Structure formats: C-alpha cells, structure tokens
Amino acid sequence: MTFDQLRTLLAVHESGSALRAARALGREQSSVQKQLDTLNRNSQTLCGEVLTVRQGRGKDFLFTPTGEDTVELARLTFEKWLESIHWSRRRLGRMLTVGTTEFTLPIVSRAWNRVSEEFRQREVEFKVAHVRTKELWSRLETRQVDLICGSIVSTPEGDLRLTEYEVVEYARGQAWLLTNLLENELPDTPVETSRLGGVPLVVPPAGLVADLLITWYGSNFRERLNVVADIDDVHYGLSLLRSGFVRGCMIVTGSIGRGMAAQDEPGTVPLRAIALDDDLEPKAELMTGAFVRRADLERYDAGHPLNRLWAAVKEDVRTYTPVA
C-alpha cells in the first residue's frame, strides 16, 4: 500500500466518486479506478473485506467498516507525515509561520520589511496566518504558528500563560465604550466597570472582550449583564451600532473607539467613545504585543529565521510610536 494509493483513497472518500477524485488529483478516472481495484484486492486478502463498494451509475461509493478504518488511518498518517515535514523545515530554517489578528498586521508587516530581502536570498518560505483573538492561545500552545501578534487581557498579577513566552509589548491601556446612545442616556463621563450591568451591551461569545468581562464578572457574566446583542466580530458590532437597529454599547480598545467615534458617515447613527474606569478587582488592561515560545528561540542559533524575525520585531518596537 503506497502513499499515492492512500491519497487516492482519501480523495474518493471526500469526493464520493472516482470521477470527481480524478479531477481533484489531476489524473484519469481509469487510473483512480485501477488503484481502488488494487486496494480492494489487497484488503480482501489481508482483512477479508474490501474497502469500497460501487453502488451503481451516478451513486457515490459505499465504504465498508474496514474502508472507513483505513481512511481514518490514512488521514492520520498524512497528518503526522506533514507535521514531521513542517517541523523539519522549521528546524532547518526553511519555513516560518506567523499569526496575526487584523489589527496587529502592521506589526508583522514592519518587521517583515526589515528581513524580507535576507529571507528571499535564503529562500525561506514565509507564511502569514489570519488569527482571531479568541484563537490566539490555542494557536500558540498547539504550535500552529512560530510567532504571533495580537492582544490579550493583562492583570497586575501577571498572566501565568506568559511564563514560557518572550513578549514584545507594543501598547497597553484601558478598554473604552463605543455607543450610539444619546448623551442624556449615557453621559460622556467615564463609566465605572462596576456599573456595566446598567448599560445595554453588544458582546461577542469569546475573545478579548469576553476575557475582560470574565475577569470582572466571572464566567457567567451574561447572567449579570444586560446583553442586547451577540456579535461574532467587531465589524458586525460597528455596523449594528451605526445602523441604529440596536441601541447600546460595545467594549473596544481606545484606538478603535476614538477612531470610530471620529468618523462621520452620512446616513448612519453617530457614535461616541466613552472611557471605562476600572474599579473592580483584579484590575485588567488590554495589552497588544508579539509573542514567541522562549524554548524555540533558545533551540535555534541567532541566524535562524525565527530569531532574525524576533530581533526585527524588537527593533521595530524601539521606533514604534503608539496611538495615544
């Protein structure tokens, strides 16, 4: 049983037919069918059961229990094999994967400009992966990326999750409220975090804002707050407030809040940015930065692409002027 045969089996399982699998693989249907016939003969000899059964013209293949087990084994084999290949390429400095949220993309972009020519000459495969804030820790801990840029909730006691990471901090500050409520409904004076239960909130199910609310109000914060709308990302929340369809407040970073409040778009409800005064314990701030596993930096020499990019990030932060 060869890797190519296993790849064909996976393609047939995913597409349902030899014809569609052949199109996906860029080969003739007869070639795919021949490999299936070989796999079925070998499986019949080894296990006493074929892998696939043809159900008639125009119908998808039926996979036997042995076939389903073999497909799962093939999938795991390919995943492990690719993981090993990617790890070797990272170790040898041939590939680097960086994760970034939409709002921290400029950090990676500026650092990349410092090393791009060097990486091109060394033929380093550089990949950028879009990471949602709620996925930041899982992407780091499962080693899906070598370096990541994003924002986290930081407390004075420190975050125990950071003990194994090197961090370059770009910005730190309090969250703000972005609202379409009128001033007589919600004055411009800072809102204490202990009073958030008295304002209508637009909140996401997970991510940076949810982490803030959990810090202040516990995991059952929805039961203690007045949640008037659920959103999946900040753009939908902004559209919701600007439409006036929902009247309420959205917790955002200071730069986003002030930036959106300054925009005056015709035909939309004006927005105001109001500061939050954190009077709850533990005190929580929003920190934006770059994160990398300390063990990875120590594993490689100073000339490895990861260490070179990390040095570029640290150099960039020395010249970076954060938004006030």
Instruction: Sheet containing 165-173: give its strands across.
Output: 125-130, 95-100, 147-154, 285-293, 165-173
- Show the 3-state SS of 51-109: CEECCCCCCCCEECHHHHHHHHHHHHHHHHHHHHHHHHHHHCCCEEEEEECHHHHHHHH
What pLDDT is attached to residue 321?
A: 64
Residue 171's identity, in one-letter code, is: A
Exposure on the CB side of residue 172, measured as CA atoms within 13 A: 11
List, in order of start, the domains of the chain with CATH numbers.
Answer: 3-89 (1.10.10.10), 93-172+286-319 (3.40.190.10), 175-277 (3.40.190.10)
- DSSP code, position 10: H
> For residue 149, what are the β-bridge partners?
100, 290
Both tokens of 236, joined, read 């939908």
Task: Give the C-alpha separation, 301 to 97, whole Å.
Answer: 18
Separation between Cα atoms, residue 146 and residue 305, nearest integer Å: 10
Number of H helices, E strands in the chain: 12, 13
Express each pLDDT in 30-57 by its tens digit. Answer: 999 999 999 999 999 999 999 999 887 7
Nearest to residue 112, comparing CAs of 322, 305, 321, 318?
305
Q: Looking at residue 96, what is its pLDDT?
A: 92
Q: What is the reported pLDDT for 160? A: 76
Spatial separation of the C-alpha atoms in residues 291 and 244, rounded to whole Å: 38
Residues with Cβ within 8 Å of 98's Cβ and at least 6 positions away in sequence, in order, are 108, 126, 127, 128, 129, 145, 146, 147, 148, 149, 309
From 312, 323, 319, 321, select the one nearest 149 (Cα to Cα).
Answer: 312
Q: Which of 294, 256, 61 minimizes the C-alpha distance to 176?
A: 256
2 CA to centre of own chain: 34
Any idea what DSSP says for residue 245? S
This prediction has a pTM of 0.72
The pLDDT score that the predictor gives to residue 120 is 93
Task: From first to last of the 324 residues of the chain, give the pLDDT tens digit.
Answer: 788 999 999 999 999 988 899 999 999 999 999 999 999 999 999 999 999 998 877 788 999 999 999 999 999 988 888 878 777 777 777 889 999 998 899 999 999 999 999 999 999 999 999 998 888 888 888 888 999 999 999 987 767 778 899 999 998 889 999 999 999 999 999 999 999 999 999 999 888 999 999 999 999 999 999 999 999 888 899 999 999 999 999 999 888 888 888 887 788 899 999 999 999 988 899 999 999 999 999 999 999 999 999 999 999 988 876 544
Residue type, 66: T
Alpha-carbon span 21 to 36, nearest angstrom: 11
Q: Which token pair is 147?
A: 């370096």
Residues 197/225, Cβ–Cβ less than 8 Å: yes
CA of 117: how far to CAs of 39, 95, 112, 121, 318, in Å?
Answer: 48, 15, 9, 6, 21
